[in-house]
Amino acid sequence: MDYQSLLVSYEDGIATVTINREKALNALNKTVFAELRHFFSVEGPARKDLIGVVITGAGSKAFAAGADIKEFMGLDGEKAMALSQNGHEVFFIIEQFPKPVIAAVNGFSLGGGCELAMACHMRIAGAKARFGQPEVNLGLTPGYAGSQRLIQLIGKGKALELLLTADMIGAEEAHRLGLANHVVEQGEEVAKAKEILKKIGTKAPLAIAKTIECVNAYFDKNANGFQTEVKAFGFLAETEDFREGSNAFIEKRKAEFKGK
């Protein structure tokens, strides 16, 4: 696919997906959503050697300053629900991606931008990152699951404070609350994300995928996370990588995982 609003590059098995709408502070329009959907459901899964994905924003000012407010003009109830549903689907695809996805938050991460970062498995904040859910300023609630994932990450009281006041918080506060995994110098976000992905790349890929599935199951009201873990454990016990991992431990050598 020729992307219009994403830049996709690969290095050492890691994909970097950059939202490339710098003039609009990387606001998430329909094209960005369609292209993210394509990357995470078609291109990414086809790359068998993929270790993980970094998502970031073009330029030094924004990760993504929200849903594209210009696309809200003429929205009625039915169209708004369809828009919201589409965003939910795309962010679920990212959350359920079987390889780790890390948001490298290089600036404003507001509204839909913060929701995208929260759908990723981890968040690295640059020193100038600003997080917030300012939807109530527009007369809206979050539309892409911010009211759910913010609670999962920082708890109900703080989530309600951010959602109801529309306050923006900086990188250090986001780190203190558990919204950001690490704070790094501005411009070092992608490098830190890649460092983490490289470490994960030395582990057994099927175990990584099953671990993501088990953690997601905790938050899925239709799943039983405990049973998901039991089944994952049984599945992994039959893999070549499990035999290789345990043999390597006994033989005091580094495991060579094949993802089988």
Which 235-254 residues touch ligand DAK, going by CB under 6 A? none
Catalytic residue among 22, 35, 89, 115: 115
Kindly write out the interface string for residues 104-133 of this chain, putting x where it contacts ligand DAK by CB under 6 A and - elsewhere.
Answer: ----x-xxx---------------------
Secondary structure tally for the chain: helices H, strands E = 11, 10
**Site residues for ligand DAK, window 74-103 (CB under 6 A)?**
80, 83-84, 87
Catalytic residue status for 115: yes
Selection from 13, 1, 95 nearest residue 48 by Cα? 13
Q: Which residue type, as a one-letter code, is found at position 113?
A: G
Distances (CA, A) of 90 to 68, 101, 105, 230: 16, 13, 19, 28
Least distance to ligand DAK from the beta carbon of 113, Å? 7
Which of 35, 95, 135, 189 is flagged as catalytic? 135
Torsion sign over Cα 87, 126, 24, 132: positive
Query: Rounded to 5 degrees, what angle do the CA atoms 72, 75, 76 make?
Result: 155
- Whichever of 100 and 126 has its CB closer to ligand DAK, that residue is 126
Positions in the binding site for ligand DAK (CB under 6 A): 24-25, 27, 65-70, 80, 83-84, 87, 108, 110-112, 134-135, 137-138, 140, 142-144
Active site residues: 115, 135
